[in-house]
Structure 1
Amino acid sequence: MSKSLMLVLCMVLFYKLSYSQDSYTLKGIVVDENNVALTSVAVVLHPSNKGTITDSVGHFHFTNLQAGEYTIHISFIGYKPYEETVKLNGNTTYKAKLSVAYLNLQEVTITDNYAEKRKKEESLNIEIVNDQYLKQNLGGSLMNSLERLPGVTTIDIGSGQSKPVIRGLGFNRVVVVENNIKHEAQQWGADHGLEIDQYAVENIEVIKGPSSLMYGADAIGGVIDIKNRKTPINNRYGGVVDITGKSNNNLLGSSVMVYGRKNTLFGSIRATLLDYADYKVPADYVDVYGYKVPLYNNELRNTAGKEQNLHLNFGIIKDKFKSRFNVSNVHTKSGFFANAHGLEPQQVDTAMHDKSNRDILLPYQQVNHFKVTNTSSYTFDKLKLMLDIGYQHNFRQEWSRYGSHGWMPPVFPDTLDFHKNIEREFDKKVYSGNAKAFYALNEKTQLIVGFNSEFQDNQIDGRGFLMPAYQQLTMGGYAIAKHAISKKSMIQAGIRYDYGRIQINEYTDWYQTQVVEGNDTTMQYLQRADYMDRQYSNISWSVGYNYNPGKWSYKFNVGKSYRMPTAKELGANGVNYHYFRYEVGNSNLSPETSYQLDAGIEFANQTFAIGTTPFINYFPNYIYLNPTPYHNREQGAGFQIFEYTQSEVFRYGGEIHAHYEPIKHLQLGIMAEYVYSLQLSGKKEGFTIPFSPPASALINLKYHRTRISVIDNPYLTIDYRLTATQNNIVPPEEVTPGYQLVNLGMGGEIKLGRQKVMLSMQVQNLLNREYLDHTSFYRLINVPEAGRNFIVNISIPFSGAI
């Protein structure tokens, strides 16, 4: 009996010793310089290669560790990298204090630990900016604020609206994502901006190149991935007041945000108001199709606007579960240049339009975008599940004075159910859903499996027809594998299948047109669009490789992406008054496919960096709007006919950047970009493709300090931008002369008592140069870009304990 008892005791003792040897725990907390806990901080433990993030109170822990030496690596946005060796002989508690990283070496982007990590792990070329960058480079819209990034340009619609172009590709070839849900507006139109509040953006990832695998079929040219506010620190409240002023269009704006968190519950609310007048150009007149339009006080009459936005987000956060709801409503009203919107330039009532530079008269556009999204995630030991759902309602109206075109009656009938001055109306509802699973097969291999689905219902109204109403269903599934070959190299590969169905409604004119058939002449209600039901499917794939040996970084990616035709490309049949042309769709268009090779090489140390990101792109069947020698005189008021067609296109180009710190506190940077496109088939063989941006370069000089007198983090920047003449055009585009611009920027943080105030100032187009932007909405009527513009933004943050 005693022997049996001794045997049992020995077994228990051996078990306890064995268990204690293999179950050491390392617990810790990560704080900032003021001992405030930091949440969602990445913590990696080597050589075990275990990783985690800090919880809602800054804590982290690792279990099942053996005795020995470990190196802790900690990285967090805006803080210096942290690394320290820890000896583990038992259960250990550890505290890490991070220091703020004030120095941003690469001027053209705002880089930090997160950004560097993303760039090294992503085989496509990526640029990352935060809200500080956006405020220091505040433009007329969110996309204008990104124009300093290499490879990113915009199509501007006046001073308050713009849409993104990545490496010469825009419209439905660039996906804009906000809080994991694809932003769906009327992105097919050059006059349609993005209904997104730039004050509500925390950081943006711009992915250049085909990104269809993760983001869906339309990401054939790239992605603008917008992230809003991160989860607040526990038991804290805070917010920020932004006040903005601009001299060129007398803009006055303010945005106020308040956030808070108590234990597992958090939330925030933001309101934004903008009001701006007609913007000024450095010219006394503009030439609208041969007619010289005199300008009053150098102002483009009727380009004023207003913007009113409201955002609400709230959610719950626990150790393994997190769920966030985002509700937003963005409302804009902005005028179109009165002398260039389907009106005869000389028939504009200039006395009425010039009476005030802040009123918004006909013609104008009014857009309201309502969005509700939810993102939820649950984390297991090796598995993370994410679910995104969203609803969007984009309601757009274009108003202009009624005028009869073609066979429209001279007097608008009062029996119709829409207002005579509503030129067009689009009512779009979108339902979205994404599901993703991240699974760590082992310490080196991760598998991502996901599914996207979206349903669109876009109805139309108004007196003018351009594109039909439609219903569209898209869905796709994908799998991506990432494998770390070593600590310095990674390979990733993925495949995706997409299915899409679009049903186009028939459309019949509300007025009768004279039709001649042989010897018979009758008045008929013409059917402009036939019912169509099209289904498309395709397979996309991508293979990428990253190699990061110390100060060098290499990346390579090759892939195929896909895009189905839009309703406008398939079924357009009407006048586009913005461009004085008649547009005709093509129901036989096939899905657009693209093959692209991306590469990147970069060297960086503490004072010098240089890198280049070339690409080669091939489209077997690129879709674009081709001008014909014909004119439509029955319904199109004699406007030239443009038809959607497809051609084989070859593209290549890239970006290069370099920066150097010759002396402490002074940085010199240069960034250049170039895109070349060539049609290899079709009626425009040998031409480029429309809206091709010219080559350009940006030279930047920046002086920055940690502190000067009472100013923290002061900076002074000078930008010198050179843009080449764009000779590669598709008629009726015209050659656009090159130009040079000088911009200034300065700012810093001032403490008024205990209150911190952040000030940023810009002078855009310092020398008030008159120049044309080849991709601008008003380029075809030779309207120059905005003149000198002084911009001031004041941010007043506040915070406290709950």
Structure 2
Amino acid sequence: MKLSALLYFLFIVQFAFSQNASIKGVVKTEDNFDTDFEVRLIGANQKASVSGNQFSFTKLSSGEYSISLRAPGYEVFFEEFYLSKDEQKNMLVELLLISDQLDEIMIIDEQTGINSKTPYSFTSVSLEAIKDKSSPNGLMGTLRDIPGVYGAEFGQGIVKPFIRGLGFSRVVTVFQGNKLENQQWGGDHGLGVNDLGVKRVDVIKGPASVLYGSGALGGVLLVKDDETYLKSNTITGNFGTSFNSISNGYRTFGSVAKKFENDFYVAADLAYENHADYKDGEGRIIGNSRFNTNTIRFHAGLDQESFQNKFSFTYNDQSLGIIDDNEMEETLATSRNDRSMQLPFQEVVDYLFSYKQNSQHEKYETFLHLSHHINERKEIEEAFDEVDLGFRQQHTFYNGRISLTNTAIKHSFGIQGSFLNNKNMQGAQEFLVPDANFFETGAYYLGEYEVNNYFLQAALRYDYRSITGEANSQQLIDDGFILPGNPENRKLNTDFGGLTGSFGVSKTIKKHKIKANVSTGYRAPDLAELFSNGPHPGTTRFEIGNVNFEREQSYQADLNYEFKSRKFSAAASVFGSLINNYIFFSSADEVEPESGLNIWDYRQVDARLYGGEFNLQYRPFEDKEFKLNFSGAVVRGDNLDFNEPLTFIPPDNLNFGIDWMPFTTTTRIFGGVRLVAEQDRPGFNETLTEAYTLFNLGVSHHFELGKNQLQASLIGNNLLNETFVDHMSLLRANQVTSPGRNISLNLRYLF
């Protein structure tokens, strides 16, 4: 008995110490598209540790194994092998496209249930690469490289998204599942989100009001959280830093997450960013372009096979310098590395709480989202201890959907709505808009049917919005603020309602896909367009709204073509849109007597926009990572009532890019040229802007440090130090030049 026990003990010890074999793999796809994948190791009761496009298994005993990888739209990868004692097996797995399918089917938006087969024109942009973490313009610094997407700047820290020539309140941003309402009506109000904890952004181009309600007239930015930690049962995360020479700016960030065996998970993200004033191509310091940002994010939830939920919280604190209209004549610049806030500047603080849950059943699936967003915005102009313009906005957003999945036609029924309250802060010195609130609710139906490689999608929606402006607070009475029409009870109410719809079809023929879509979208006028009647700090304007405005209504047709093969891919889109009751801002050629400011008012006209985008990608060598890219976009916009161009229509542009991994290691060289044409079709009160060319070049490398990885990149933007004025700059009327050469260094450690 003693001998048997001893032999058994020695066997156990030998077995324990023989579990030192491991497998490490890197996953790439034939079309070089970042995709989620599922990996299974048959022969071991162990989950893979997954980080980005890498997976690993550790503490394996010797023996026979088989491994399988699956990803939507790609052929299943399968391999059998034998692991010897202490063997460290390295794998490079390439997933091949399914021959009769153009691309993988991925979920574009959980809230609405739409996926990549939708006839909408959309682009998915991964933000996982270290080279995408470098732009001082944050999220929009990467997104505006997409054909048809542009950024309107009011300095580096304030960039607003434009899609196909439409921006401000005409583009919806969905962040943390919340339909973002952060005073985007203001030209000097930025997007208000950054890429901390973000995996990718899906950009829907064209009217999407049928699924997202008011404001999605131009398109939608769907910001997706990085949830790779759900694939691992160990603590995962990363931390790093970035430096930008253009503003002597730095950013430090970190993330950590853990999924437990009971399927509960927690995650946290933290970032701090600080920039001095930037320099243009001539080395001139653009005064008061400095800014800094603090961001904290927290997530917790449950991730089970048929039920998932997630609670998230984001805190974002920004201090943003406001570039003066007279900057090119009398600069506010101080010393090169001065980071202290100076007058005028903005303080913006956001608190966003959200909860979402998904459930999957045999015959149906459900989705629920609830969020509450507090946005506090101060514009400080005359003195540090005085708030010239201040708002505290609270926005509650809800979204629910149920989809029937076991029928030939997939039926989805959804409701969405908002409660918004916007109040002027106590003690503010000036008032641009009154206190206001709105209630909005909408219900939609989405039907999807697939037959013989045709995918049909139709949607119909009805919305109602009630908006109330109130000027009966004591501070508004003392200020003498008057609502349009000067109502006796100092209160105004206006309602908007109506139908929107879309119908589209996509046809897949092996490597070709054609999409056609017709849709209508709408936008209710924002608070400034309806109720503004006062000076706007940080500008030289006295702004006047019009409470009698009708809602904007657009009618658009889209045609898209895509082709993908092992070596070559192409995508092209053309679109045309008519917008009834298009609202624009113009000078009244009058001066307001008390303030002495120029009066600007809002007006409505009928408008037309049309244009197109294309993107070509060529991989000449099947066995090498070498990729050439060529893309471009054209947009035209006309004011049909006055027979003149619309304002804020971007110039034509072409982009050439190269991406090359010249060695067997993970060194990557990338670069490009951006050609921006002269914008010689200026709209009302706009000036012509000249053409310019930007050259970019960078290199990145991934260093293996045991089980972990260090990523590094060195990138040069505008390497020829071009001096230019961007037509999409909100400061172009004052000829404020854009940033010059920027060298950025980025480091990120993944564990």
Are 1:82 and 2:81 matched, yes or no? Answer: no
Are 1:617 and 2:577 matched, yes or no? Answer: yes
Match of 1:250 among 238, 248, 251: 248
In structure 1, the residue corresponding to 2:305 is in which secondary structure? Answer: coil
Counterpart of 1:266, as a letter, is Y
In structure 1, the residue corresponding to 2:509 is in which secondary structure? Answer: coil
| Per-residue deviation, 1:133 | 4.5
In structure 1, C-alpha distance between the alignment counterparts of 2:69 and 2:290, rounded to whole Å: 48
Match of 2:193 among 191, 196, 219: 196
Distance 1:113-1:788 versus aligned 2 partners, 3 A rule = farther
In structure 1, C-alpha distance between the alignment counterparts of 2:591 and 2:674, rounded to whole Å: 40
My pick for the range that moved more, 609-618 or 625-634, is 625-634
Match of 2:711 among 758, 763, 766: 758
In structure 2, C-alpha distance between the alignment counterparts of 1:112 and 1:743, rounded to whole Å: 31
In structure 1, the residue corresponding to 2:635 is in which secondary structure? Answer: strand
In structure 2, C-alpha distance between the alignment counterparts of 1:435 and 1:501, rounded to whole Å: 21
Q: Percent identity?
A: 25
Q: Is the 8 A contact 2:230 2:303 kept in 1?
A: no
In structure 2, C-alpha distance between the alignment counterparts of 1:371 and 1:439, rounded to whole Å: 31
Q: Which residue number in structure 2 is paired with residue 293 of structure 1?
A: none
1:17-416 counterparts in 2 under 5 A?
A: 75-76=70-71, 81-82=75-76, 100-101=93-94, 114=106, 120-133=116-129, 135-136=131-132, 138-140=134-136, 141-230=138-227, 232-263=230-261, 264-283=263-282, 298-338=284-324, 340=326, 346=330, 353-354=334-335, 357-401=338-382
1:372-771 counterparts in 2 under 5 A?
A: 372-401=353-382, 421-442=386-407, 444-461=408-425, 462-486=428-452, 488-506=453-471, 525=480, 527=482, 530=486, 531-635=491-595, 637-639=596-598, 641-663=599-621, 664-681=624-641, 685-705=642-662, 707-708=663-664, 711-712=665-666, 714-771=667-724
Cα shift readout 1:662-693 (whole Å, capped 9, x = no counterpart): 34433222101010011111xxx111222111
In structure 2, C-alpha distance between the alignment counterparts of 1:322 and 1:657, rounded to whole Å: 36
Distance 1:81-1:779 versus aligned 2 partners, 3 A rule = farther
In structure 1, C-alpha distance between the alignment counterparts of 2:344 and 2:433, rounded to whole Å: 20
In structure 2, C-alpha distance between the alignment counterparts of 1:322 and 1:596, rounded to whole Å: 36
In structure 2, C-alpha distance between the alignment counterparts of 1:702 and 1:767, rounded to whole Å: 20
In structure 1, C-alpha distance between the alignment counterparts of 2:655 and 2:378, rounded to whole Å: 38
Q: Which residue number in structure 2 is paired with residue 518 of structure 1?
A: none
In structure 2, C-alpha distance between the alignment counterparts of 1:81 and 1:191, rounded to whole Å: 48
Are 1:786 and 2:739 matched, yes or no? Answer: yes
Moved over 6 A (4+): 115-119, 507-513
In structure 2, C-alpha distance between the alignment counterparts of 1:736 and 1:653, rounded to whole Å: 20
Counterpart of 2:651, as a letter, is P
My pick for the range that moved more, 118-127 or 326-335, is 118-127
Q: Is the 8 A contact 1:508 1:527 kept in 2?
A: no
Counterpart of 1:262, as a letter, is F
In structure 1, C-alpha distance between the alignment counterparts of 2:116 and 2:190, rounded to whole Å: 32
In structure 2, C-alpha distance between the alignment counterparts of 1:772 and 1:567, rounded to whole Å: 30
Q: Is the 8 A contact 2:389 2:537 kept in 1?
A: no
| Per-residue deviation, 1:632 | 2.0
In structure 2, C-alpha distance between the alignment counterparts of 1:368 and 1:739, rounded to whole Å: 36
In structure 2, C-alpha distance between the alignment counterparts of 1:460 and 1:507, rounded to whole Å: 12
In structure 1, C-alpha distance between the alignment counterparts of 2:398 and 2:525, rounded to whole Å: 21
| Per-residue deviation, 1:526 | 5.3
In structure 1, C-alpha distance between the alignment counterparts of 2:152 and 2:232, rounded to whole Å: 42
Cα shift readout 1:149-170 (whole Å, capped 9, x = no counterpart): 1111001121222111101111
Could you say what the CA RMSD is over the residues aligned between the two structures, in angstroms? 3.2
In structure 2, C-alpha distance between the alignment counterparts of 1:76 and 1:398, rounded to whole Å: 49
Counterpart of 1:212, as a letter, is S
| Per-residue deviation, 1:464 | 1.8
In structure 2, C-alpha distance between the alignment counterparts of 1:693 and 1:778, rounded to whole Å: 14
| Per-residue deviation, 1:227 | 0.9
In structure 1, C-alpha distance between the alignment counterparts of 2:70 and 2:321, rounded to whole Å: 46
Q: Which residue number in structure 1 is paired with residue 18 of structure 2?
A: none
My pick for the range that moved more, 606-615 or 424-433, is 606-615
Q: Is the 8 A contact 2:172 2:215 kept in 1?
A: yes
Q: Is the 8 A contact 2:346 2:378 kept in 1?
A: yes
Cα shift readout 1:628-651 (whole Å, capped 9, x = no counterpart): 22222323x242x22211111111
In structure 2, the residue corresponding to 1:236 is in which secondary structure? Answer: coil
Counterpart of 1:699, as a letter, is F
Q: Is the 8 A contact 1:508 1:525 kept in 2?
A: no
In structure 2, the residue corresponding to 1:214 is in which secondary structure? Answer: helix
In structure 2, C-alpha distance between the alignment counterparts of 1:595 and 1:609, rounded to whole Å: 30
Counterpart of 2:482, as a letter, is Q
Q: Is the 8 A contact 2:718 2:740 kept in 1?
A: yes
Cα shift readout 1:481-539 (whole Å, capped 9, x = no counterpart): 000012x21001010000001001126896999xxxxxxxxxx9453555210111110
Q: Is the 8 A contact 1:509 1:526 kept in 2?
A: no
Distance 1:588-1:338 versus aligned 2 partners, 3 A rule = closer
| Per-residue deviation, 1:724 | 0.9
In structure 2, C-alpha distance between the alignment counterparts of 1:751 and 1:451, rounded to whole Å: 48
Q: Is the 8 A contact 1:302 1:357 kept in 2?
A: no
Counterpart of 2:274, as a letter, is D
